[in-house]
Structure 1
Amino acid sequence: MRVQRPLVILIIILSIFLLSGCNKILPLFKDKKPEVISNLSASSIMMDSNEIRSQTIQIINNAKKSIFIELSAIDDQEIINLLISKSRNGIKVHILLDQWQRENSETVKYLKNQNVSVQYYPAQKGQYQRIRYLVADYQVAVFYGNDWTAKGFATHTMAIKLTGDAAWTIAKSFDKDWSYTTTLSLGLPETMNLPQDNIIFTLSSGVKPQLLKQINAASKEIIAEVEQISDPDTVEALVQAKKRGCTVKLIVSPSCAVATPNTIKKFKESEIQVRYYNSPNKIPMGFNLSIFDNKTMMMTSSSWTYYSFVINHEGALIIPSPTASESISKVLSQEWENASLP
């Protein structure tokens, strides 16, 4: 029996379709890549200075092998003495601090006299060391919004505790900074078997691109509590987010009225909602945090300025966690209610 030509063509097409797979023939029906989600819990985010300090002391106390610290400044005598004690007991303690902070002069002298390995981060002229973290035993890390000083612990600050592979990433970053400072490697293990947490840790020149990526990807809402916003590209990205329909709420320091009046004016003209931080207890603001679409949060070590992005030694965490973002969003919403209008 003679087979009709159209039927032959149909059989050939179906054969190719079945042998090649649906995804190659119909790319429109490809499965979407699953969203990357971090398993960071809301309880890993600390927003109370007393809790942050006590957790810091506990982590240092529990360290069995190594303690890496990179901060702007330390003057908390209890923590300093604890670090000396751990060093004497054979724990590898290594500390990097900012050379321009007054508190560090006495701290560094005292620690060196006690044979604790402490150095100034080799900042260039006009550069500040602003990144703040602690890593214990290569597997537990805390990323801080402020320093271990009387002033730092007296601010409305926050810290994020990490127990996944981001802690190992930060440990390796410290090793690079230590090698850059001293030309000596710390001899880290080749690998650490830690659970994947899908948290991005980025430094200096990587902070701004990550921030712009999050702003540009937002489709519904951006809420941020940042001491100062003046970087032109970031300001423009926020304006464009508003134009495409995002709700943009910014809580900034009252000092911005004098420091960046043109930026505040541009935000107002763009119908971006701006308020000045106002604590009922008159506690100064001490962290820089943003939440995008209530599912991704980003914590930076400093404000969103040219100096932060280009000059200083800075850092940031990007955490794609709807659970954590929703929890912190409630805190920022309350702070929005407390904030004052420009």
Structure 2
Amino acid sequence: EFQRLDLVAMLLDAHDRGLTVTAIKDPSERSSETSWAVLEQGGVRVVAFPLERLTIDHVKLLIVDGVRAIVGGINWGSHSALNHDVDVLAAGPVVDNLERVFRRDLALAGEPTPIPPPAPDRHVQVLVTHPGDGIRAAALAAVAAARHSIDIEMFVLSDRVILDALVAASRRGVSLRALLDPTQPQNATTMALLQAAGAAVRFYVQAGDELLHAKLGIFDRATVLFGSCNWSYSGFARNHELDLLVHDARLARIFLSRLEQDWVASTP
């Protein structure tokens, strides 16, 4: 979603100052058409991501000067600021690898674009789906490797394969905690399934029209998986999604601190 006209104005200003501004849009997202049209009329290059049936381009990514990036789950929609969600401001080798994703998407859209080789990065893996299935594979591997704890904050948690893995983890003694958005009907079934396996599951307590829009998993308080991808079949197998898998206990502590606040605030 992209209905934030203030952000449209900022991008047009950057273009007018001589910066190269390139945008990749999801052509199926009709509510954003005005924003994209205004950018194109202002001279910004806007490219449509090639979609297949039942797919969307769900990526949320901003790269500036090739050295900084904002990535996560937050849309630029009119309602997005009301939601509870996760983005990070990234720097370092991960930005080079995010740039590769952007350039590859341009190439998929029919725009000839050189794609550099991956940048070595010991701490952060950039994961995409459709093309590829890197996010589900990473989530399953992280669940299988967990020995002590798994903490989840999720808009939609419904993929049967990941649910089976979470049930198995809980039954082998891993402390499993999940905080889910109450507006998504699939999550009620998920809650019952995980609770039956011994997990602690709560619905997020909303403030007004707020949604729990985050897609976050924390493993053994040391590894974090987050981004645009819901843990649903569509997220893992149909949509074009972008996540980061970060091996960093400090970042995990930051996310856990906020999750803990949300958990306490959502006490039944």
State the TM-score, normalizing by the size of structure 1: 0.73
Alignment of 1:244-283 (within 5 A): 244-256=172-184, 258-279=185-206, 283=210
Q: Which position in structure 2 is the counterpart of 1:201? A: 126
Q: 1:198-248, CA deviations, whole angstroms, 9 ceiling, x for partnerless residues? A: 211110011000001111110001111001211111001111111111110
CA distance in 2, matches of 1:300, 1:309: 12
CA distance in 2, matches of 1:86, 1:173: 22
Give SS of 2:213's match: coil
CA distance in 1, matches of 2:237, 2:13: 38
CA distance in 2, matches of 1:262, 1:157: 23
Identical amino acids, percent of aligned pairs: 20
| One-letter amino acid matched to 1:276 | F
C-alpha contact 1:223 1:248 (8 A) present in aligned 2: yes
| One-letter amino acid matched to 2:76 | W
| One-letter amino acid matched to 2:217 | S
Q: Which of 214, 231, 235 lines up with 2:159 in the alignment?
A: 231
CA distance in 2, matches of 1:307, 1:277: 22
Q: Which position in structure 1 is the counterpart of 2:112? A: 184
Q: Which position in structure 1 is the counterpart of 2:2? A: 74
Q: Which position in structure 1 is the counterpart of 2:15? A: 87
| One-letter amino acid matched to 1:338 | A
TM-superposed deviation, 1:196 = 4.6
Give yes or no for the alignment of 1:119 onto 2:44. no
Q: 1:126-164, CA deviations, whole angstroms, 9 ceiling, x for partnerless residues? A: 111111111111121110311112211221122111111
CA distance in 2, matches of 1:177, 1:149: 22
Provide structure 2 residue ranges, at least 5 long, that are not aligned to the other structure. none
C-alpha contact 1:164 1:197 (8 A) present in aligned 2: no
Q: Which of 232, 247, 254 lines up with 1:320 in the alignment?
A: 247
CA RMSD of aligned residues (A): 2.0
Q: Number of aligned pairs?
A: 265
Q: Which position in structure 2 is the counterpart of 1:65? A: none
Q: Determine which structure has the larger strand proportion and give its number.
A: 2
Alignment of 1:111-190 (within 5 A): 111-185=39-113, 187=114
State the TM-score, normalizing by the size of structure 2: 0.92
TM-superposed deviation, 1:195 = 9.0
CA distance in 2, matches of 1:196, 1:262: 38
CA distance in 2, matches of 1:182, 1:88: 26
Q: Determine which structure has the larger helix proportion and give its number.
A: 1
CA distance in 2, matches of 1:261, 1:160: 29
CA distance in 2, matches of 1:195, 1:272: 37
Q: Which position in structure 2 is the counterpart of 1:17? A: none
Alignment of 1:18-37 (within 5 A): none
Choose 1 or 2 for highest CA Rg. 1
Q: 1:49-88, CA deviations, whole angstroms, 9 ceiling, x for partnerless residues? A: xxxxxxxxxxxxxxxxxxxxxxxx3221122112112223
Q: 1:283-342, CA deviations, whole angstroms, 9 ceiling, x for partnerless residues? A: 32121111111111110313211011111101110111111111221111111111244x
| One-letter amino acid matched to 1:114 | G
CA distance in 1, matches of 2:235, 2:121: 29
C-alpha contact 2:157 2:186 (8 A) present in aligned 1: no
Change (3 A) 1:339 1:282: farther
Q: Which of 212, 223, 237 lines up with 1:310 in the alignment?
A: 237
Provide structure 1 residue ranges, at least 5 long, that are not aligned to the other structure. 1-72
Give SS of 2:79's match: helix
